[in-house]
Amino acid sequence: MKYNTLNLPNAYKKAFKDADIRGVYPTEINEVVAYRIARAFVEEFGWNEVIVARDMRVSSPSLRKAFVAGIRDAGATAIDIGIIDTPGLYFASGSLDLPGVVITASHNPAEYNGLKLVSPGAIPLTGKTGLTAILKRIEMNASRTIIERGALKKQSMMRKYVSYIKQKTKFVTKRRLRVVIDAGNGTAGPLIKELCANLPIEITPLFFELDGTFPNRESNPTLAKNQTEIRRTLKAGTYDFGVAFDGDADRVAFFDEKGNYINSAFIGALIAKHLIERFPKSTYIYTVFTSRAYEEVIKKSGGKAIRARVGHAFIKEVMHKQDALFGCEHSAHFYFKDNYYTDSGILAFLFVAAALAEKLGAEKKFSEIIRPFSTYFQTEEVLVEVKYKELALQEIASRYESKHPESITYFDGVTIHFPEYWFVIKKSVTEDALKFVVESPKKQIAYTVQKEILEQLRIY
């Protein structure tokens, strides 16, 4: 197919976000968009080779075909590594020192798809570092005349990838761990089977079949509506803990042996404390939405906590600059310096499993181990559509500032602290909406404030 002779969809610009390209297929992203982006990616940076990976979404094969065509028409070689999780693309880019793309919409519902572009070393492209330039090339239709098409190579990275991950975790345990794993019909399933085959982990698999229609639950595992089956399974059996992945396995949600969802910051605090014991005074990254418990554990343990803007690309940028050992985001992303400063749901799962293996036993359960970190209750992130988001944000900030909070901070939104609760509210980058979370030592107070903010936002 000659993609360069076809018209772009009218809404294609909506797919360009701050840190990746993502939208509804085919109205915001389609094969023509993928082709044009591929050509612009090669021509803007002069790449000779580009790694191409994809997830299992229904539209991913055709988007992959178009992207490969764009790479080749720009004169570069496309290295196709097939279906793999997003962290697998990061590993390929880091280990081969090549640019790449993974075709995925991550945690979004089935009707979405997208592209995550990285420079060599798994460094993500953002608006500042390349996405804006790519968009401008597409707008100007600036592709060069095809002189000589590049080649297409197929290369499997799975064996090296599995070996690499296993090297990062060492198990010392007196018994096998029993874990419920919900792959959500995403890319985590095949990888988990490979990884756990020779590890002291007995898995109970849920939804391991690759299916881009997401027939059993939506892709985001942090939402309560998507946790029904793993909670039911954990409550009905005798397990040590459970995990659930999103579609491209860069997110992982944790559950205790009773089926209770665990705030990602508490998991992050467990990991950080373990790392600080081995690497004193090391640096850790968090965002405005990360529970206060994470920052407090790091500082109390002798580590250094540094805040970054919400979003994987911005966290990775700060991690590089600060040479941070680990990062934690409220949305179930966990970042590791030892993994090219990138996020990996699989690595987070194995790291926690290995850290707990020595402690788990009849006398101590996962819920008991995590309890010291569970000092606060945080509401789910709420997205509220508003017509005038800048005005709404200013009005909410002014209203609570008049109540004389302990502090008010303007960084990546507004953070307002009161003695019994605190909340963060910020503008959505992609929608006419505000999003916020509330946290308190007491669940009822957090929900009361959440309801209060929701009522106030309705007038905007």
Read off the DSSP letter of residue 326.
Answer: E
Read off the DSSP letter of residue 153.
Answer: E
Single-letter amino acid code for the residue at 359? K
What distance separates the 2 farthest-apart alpha carbons in the chain?
Answer: 69
Q: How far apart are CA 278 and CA 272, in angstroms?
A: 10
The two structure tokens encoding residue 268:
């992050």
In sequence order, what are the beta bridge partners of 305? 284
Q: 47 phi and psi, to 5 degrees?
A: -65, 145
**Which DSSP string corresponds to 396-422?**
HHHHHHTT--SEEEESSSEEEE-SS-E
Q: Catalytic positions, please?
A: 106
Single-letter amino acid code for the residue at 67? F
Single-letter amino acid code for the residue at 413? G
For 104, the 3-state DSSP assignment is coil
**Which DSSP string corresponds to 257-311?**
TTS-EE-HHHHHHHHHHHHHHHSTT-EEEE-TTS-HHHHHHHHHTT-EEEE--SS
Cis bond upstream, residue 26 (ω within 30): yes
Q: 214 phi and psi, to 5 degrees?
A: 50, 65
**Are the C-beta atoms of 346 and 244 separated by less than 8 Å?**
no
The two structure tokens encoding residue 216:
């059993």
